[in-house]
Structure 1
Amino acid sequence: MYHPLLSGRSHLLRRATNFLCAAGLFFAAGASAEQLPPPIDVPEVLKNYQDTQDCFPGVIHDPSTIAEVQSIVRDAAAQGRKVMTGTRRFNSQIDAACAGNGEVQITLENMNQVVSLDKENRLVTVQAGMRFNDLAAYLREHELSVPMVTELAIFSIGGMLGSGTHGSTFTQKSNMISDYVTEIKLVDGKGNLRVITGELLNAARVNLGVLGVVVEVTIEAEPGYKVQAKVKGHRDDSDLENVILGLARDNHSANIAWFPGLGRYTVTTYNKVPLDTRGNAYNAQADVSDFSEYLFGLIFDSLHEADSAALQCFAASLRYTARSSSYFRDVNTGLKKFIKPTGHADLMQHFVCKEPNNCVWDKLPIALQEVAIPFEELPNWIADVRQIIAHSERTCFPLNGIYFRFGKASDSYLGMSAGRDTAFVGIEYTLRQRGEAVPKNYFVNLEIEQMSLRKYGARPHWGKNSVAIFEDMPSRFPKWSQFLDAKAELDPENVFTNPFWQRVSGQDPLENYLTPQCNADGQCYCRTDAHCEQGATCQAGNWYSEARICKKD
């Protein structure tokens, strides 16, 4: 049996075991969408946080005022150019916020301030370039809280509305910040400033950046509170279908990591406590040393290259151990808090990296596929995944297991939870840039994805995933046509569009991405053997026969 731990770097990998057990990392996404050649005379290239996705706009603007945004849009429209809003180091694994080649890119990095606070009515208005962690810290100073918390807090508010960024809560109105927005100021396709309220607001809550440039957002807050966390590991997963919906319903927030290859799962729950409750803890999952990151990199390389599933399952057991005990530390002392870790809601639920924009997942080859399925269907989905795994060779999910979060139905037209209570399901795996190597048992992930899409009507996360998963998107949202009506009203000349919108709306059919070996880096689900990596053939799924997977015999 091949085992990289016995190779020349085994002394470092053995030392990594302790670090993996000690640090509860949650890994973010990093696969790439189709890369196009850069146009001539590109002034600046935009890159995502892992350098797996490049954007080649013709010009980049950094406005400081709404008037400047209006001028930029009017000039672009007059020239027949397209406009998209994004950041220079965007936190997405796909090109959702990229202007097309040679088009006009706007960043709002200079529009990142609080505009006003109505403390009596608990309403805060911010510029769209403000980061979520800065908003949470500002509200905390005023003994207020954002009603939801996302686990990675460095996203801009405008970006969170663009993609429908979410956390996990089933006791609040929503797990998306989009649903707590009461008003949006937006520069439309003619350069006019529009104040969006009423039913049109439901179109703009999750807007993909194709309705206009969101410049200001008013958000409803709630009285400040703290949360108390509980972390527990379960070494027998046979009851998961029976308890998982109750865990979501009975706690303020619940995150569950299922390791089906091990027959185990972990549960982290957060429940509200009064603001004056003792405790000042924070979530230290991502607060690791440079040396730890180096060791993680060695582990990841070995995971990717191993021919046997043994190392994959060994790493999964380390992740299970890391997630089954407290990963909270005291803000003042840095010491771990094992007994009833308590702290401000935002600091407890989002990850604090050792540097604000420098997290461990920025450096490691990781991809994240996430979909949303109807909440009540989750036990059936879990049972089907058990069957897929049982009919495949042993498969472990070493990075974070299969990760579950939850949210109530949203009034937004294009939110992942639009119109239905929702379970959010994420699977992470190692992936080299451009698919230079296919992860171990990648075909199992692809079978689960296709089953989720075609049997459970899954909706892919707008800011994660790879090209192939965005199939038949208009059919997945009952109010898709109403969203198109809103786009026609706000952007009649189609100024706000980009390659991502053209793909997900069907203007650029996914058939165009059926190229040699396109399956290996997520560009397609295979239809012929030519779409697979060398040595693999396109076959029916092992359990879900409607899936098409690339598998080596």
Structure 2
Amino acid sequence: MHAILWNLVFSGFPAVGFHNHIQASGSCLGSDRNTKMTTFCPWDSRIKGEFFHQTAFSIGLSVVKNFIEDLKKLVELEPKAFCGIEMYNGILMRYVKGSSAYLGKQEDGVDFDITYYRSKDPMAPRLYEDIIEEVEQIGIFKYGGVPHWGKNRNVAFEGVMNKYKNADKFLKVKDEYDPERLFSSEWTDQVLGLKEGLMVSKDGCALEGLCICSNHNHCAPTKGYFCRPGKIYKEAKVCAGLGS
């Protein structure tokens, strides 16, 4: 398919011009006129492309060594612990500087970016569900990780504003620059701690990160996944399969 389209639209080298004028494929959500032939965006909701979630947070340099050692302990207990994480990137790490921005990084640290594949069925547990949930809770709660604002599930934002010393200043500026709440929604209000409802209690909610499990129905008991303590971080509550 790619070769056919290439021959149809490409007129040959050299390709000269400004980068913003180059279009290598159809738009992600607007290619109906050619029967989706140029739909190359794998996240296009109209096609059965890849489906994945991301968990990303920053751990301060003062405790990042301890966090990494905890991950190593999980691997020692379960050598296949991180099967299911995107195989080429693994856990992506990068150094980040502390920032004076009101919602910036509070100190120098390391970003951890975890990409994992997810069933489109919200009630389907992931491969090594409990391990990834424990990593998430270790990073966010045990070591006070600051979540990436666009790459996380609800659980990562629980109490997040308490992690920023200038959170009140941010909310004041937010109100001044957006008095009509054009850039606000029920979701942002929940994330910013202005409204309740961020954590949802219902069957299967822990599978989607809408809650931290407190009973078995929050996991998938009919599929053999029950709410259990973490393996090394006992304060964690995770959905573990039988035999995990």
TM-score bracket for this pair, using the shorter chain length:
0.7 to 0.9
Shift of 1:403: 0.9
Tell me the equivalent position of 1:444. Answer: 131
Structure 2: gaps of 5 or more residues: 4-12, 29-39
Taking every aligned residue pair, what percent have the same amino acid on both sides? 28
- Contact 2:56/2:147 (<8 A) preserved: yes
Q: Report the equivalent of 1:402.
A: 91
Pairing 1:483–2:175 present: no
Q: Is the 8 A contact 1:367 1:430 kept in 2?
A: yes
Partner amino acid for 1:539? R
Name the structure 2 match of 1:388: 74
In the alignment, is the contact (CA less than 8 A) between 2:58 and 2:145 conserved in 1?
yes
- For 1:543, the aligned partner's letter is I
- Cα deviation for residue 359 of structure 1 reads 4.0
| Paired AA for residue 73 in structure 2 | Q
Question: Given the alignment, which residue of 159, 173, 196 partners 1:508?
Answer: 196
The residue aligned with 2:142 is 455
The alignment partner of 2:170 has SS state of helix
Give, as a single letter, the amino acid of the residue that structure 2 aligns with 1:411: S
Superposed CA RMSD: 2.7
Deviations 1:326-360 (A, max 9, x none): xxxxxx89xxxxxxxxxxxxx9xxxxx95375444
Offset at residue 510 of structure 1 (A): 3.2
Q: Is the CA contact 1:392–1:542 (under 8 Å) kept in the aligned structure 2?
A: no
SS at match of 1:454: helix
Instruction: Please say if residues 82 and 132 of structure 2, whose CA atoms lie closer than 8 Å, have aligned partners that are also in contact.
Output: no
Q: Which of 520, 536, 545 in structure 1 is aligned with 2:225?
A: 536
Q: Number of aligned pairs? A: 205
> After the TM superposition, which residues 227-376 of structure 1 pair with which residues of structure 2 at under 5 Å, given as runs?
355=25, 358-360=40-42, 363-376=49-62
By percentage of residues, which structure has more strand? 1
C-alpha separation in 2, matches of 1:497 and 1:369: 23
Q: How far apart in 2 are the matches of 1:518 and 1:426? A: 22
Q: Tell me the SS of whatever aligns to 1:429.
A: strand
Equivalence for 2:6: none
Given that 1:537 and 1:552 are in contact with CA atoms closer than 8 Å, whether structure 2 keeps it comes out as yes
2:206 counterpart SS class: helix
TM-score, normalising length: structure 2: 0.74
**What secondary structure, in the 3-state scheme, does the structure 1 residue paired with 2:56 have?**
strand
Gaps of 5+ in 1: 1-288, 292-331, 334-346, 348-352
With over 3 angstroms needed to count, the CA separation of the structure-2 counterparts of 1:499 and 1:442, relative to structure 1, is same
Give the structure 1 partner of residue 35 of structure 2: none
Contact 1:388 1:544 in 2 (8 A): no
Give 1:420 shift.
1.2
Match of residue 423 from structure 1: 110
Give a deviation string over 1:277-315, Cα, whole Å, max 9, x none: xxxxxxxxxxxx869xxxxxxxxxxxxxxxxxxxxxxxx
Given that 1:434 and 1:521 are in contact with CA atoms closer than 8 Å, whether structure 2 keeps it comes out as no
Residue 186 of structure 2 corresponds to 499
How far apart, CA to CA, are the structure 2 residues paired with 1:486 and 1:410?
A: 17
Match of 2:160 among 448, 464, 473: 473
Q: Is residue 514–residue 524 contact of structure 1 (8 Å, CA) maintained in 2?
A: yes
Question: Counterpart amino acid of 1:403?
Answer: L
Residue 63 of structure 2 is aligned to residue 377 of structure 1? yes
The alpha carbon displacement at 1:422 in A equals 2.3
**CA 1:443 to 1:502, structure 2 compared with 1: closer, same or farther past 3 Å?**
same
CA contact (8 A) 2:55 2:113 kept: yes
Residue 364 of structure 1 aligns with an amino acid whose one-letter code is: E
Deviations 1:126-158 (A, max 9, x none): xxxxxxxxxxxxxxxxxxxxxxxxxxxxxxxxx
Contact 1:447 1:549 (C-alpha < 8 Å) held by counterparts: yes
Shift in Å, 1:541: 0.2
Larger Rg: 1
For 2:43 and 2:74, the matched residues in 1 are separated by 28
How big is each residue's C-alpha offset from its partner over 1:212-246, in whole Å with a ceiling of 9 and x where there is no partner?
xxxxxxxxxxxxxxxxxxxxxxxxxxxxxxxxxxx
- C-alpha separation between the residues in 1 aligned to 2:181 and 2:116? 37
Deviation of 1:376 (Å): 4.0
User: Following TM superposition, by how much is the alpha carbon of 1:508 offset from its aligned partner in structure 2, in angstroms?
Assistant: 2.0
How far apart are the structure 1 equivalents of 2:225 and 2:67?
27
Give yes or no for contact 1:366–1:430 (8 Å, CA) kept in 2: yes
How far apart are the structure 2 equivalents of 1:370 and 1:290? Answer: 33
Q: Distance in 2 between matches of 1:390 and 1:489?
A: 51
Question: Partner of 1:369: helix, strand, or coil?
Answer: strand
TM (normalized to structure 1)?
A: 0.34
What's the CA shift for 1:445?
0.6
Mapped partners of 1:381, 1:538: distance in 2? 23
